[in-house]
Amino acid sequence: MPARSLLVVLCSLAILLAPATRAWGQSDLEKENAELKARVTKLEADLALAVERIKALSEENSRLRKMAGQPAKKPDGPGAGGAAPGPGRSSPASILALLKAEYAAKLAPLPRDSKADQLKFQREAAQWAAEAEKAHSGDVRWHIRLSGPPQTSPRGTALTGDLLDAPGGTVIEPGVDLIVPSRFGRSITLEPAQKEWTLAGTVRVQPRIDMKRADDASGAPGSAPLVGPFVEFRYEFNATEVTKPEPAKKP
């Protein structure tokens, strides 16, 4: 083959191959950028979860020091700059806040585009829900200020009111509905002038997967709030003791 013809063939091949090479390089770069963005999103969510845990530990530290008569120690690290106490088990809303932080770190980054993605999401969500139930269920001591008279319920006595951070304290969650055994309900009913009560018992946290609920608007009226897309927040409170709050000790 003459040298000129060979040169023409080689140039033609170079022209044909060059766009494909450039296209592959661009696609590879876009894929790498997407992976980096996903990693950054997960790291940001992990940081948010760590901040919430630090706040929760700070709240517990303050409570224990108060019981021991020691001044509360300010926490170190992210979120320590005078931030409000973080979520724990002080109310259903505080539990929900903690679950939302965990959801953001563990489930929110997962893709849900394809059917395979959705199946994987359901598996991961179910595993997380089981872990969350073990981690966040436990003993509680809630202080409620009733906003109306107790109501008879098939499951016991229904109470509606605001949860307080302490007897006679600040409202931390308004408009909470709780069920207590009828034997406690009778005691409350006999003292209508007594508005504040201390409820001791256990709370069982039960996140529930529902792939039909992408947002709060997708549920029927009265549906459980969402921890995040496709995960409902459910819990069960079991009262073991209902008493009048102890009067605050004078300093």
Establish if 159 belongs to a structural domain: yes
Residue 169 lies in a domain: yes
Residue 215 DSSP code: S
**In sequence order, what are the residues at sequence separation of 6 or more whose Cβ sits closer than 8 angstroms to the Cβ of residue 178?**
142, 144, 158, 159, 160, 199, 237, 239
The total number of structural domains that make up the chain: 1
For residues 4 and 85, which has the higher predicted lDDT (pLDDT)? 4
**Domain assignment present for 12:** no
Q: How far apart are CA 148 and CA 158, in angstroms?
A: 10
Dump pLDDT digits (tens) for 4-52. Answer: 554 444 455 555 444 444 455 666 667 766 666 666 566 555 555 655 5
Q: Is residue 175 a part of any domain in this protein?
A: yes
Residue that has been written with the tokens 């770069």 in this structure: 29
Q: Is 56 within the bounds of a domain?
A: no
> Does 213 map to a domain?
yes
Distances in whole angstroms, Cα of residue 76 to Cα of each of 51, 67, 71, 80:
11, 21, 16, 6
Domain limits at 227? Answer: 138-243
Q: What is the CATH number of the domain that holds 231?
A: 2.40.50.140
Would 156 be classed as within a structural domain?
yes
How many C-beta atoms surround the C-beta of residue 97 within 10 A? Answer: 17
pLDDT of 3 higher than 50: no
Q: Poorest-confidence range of 27-31, 80-84, 162-166, 237-241?
A: 80-84
Question: Considering the domain boundaries, does residue 233 fall inside one?
Answer: yes
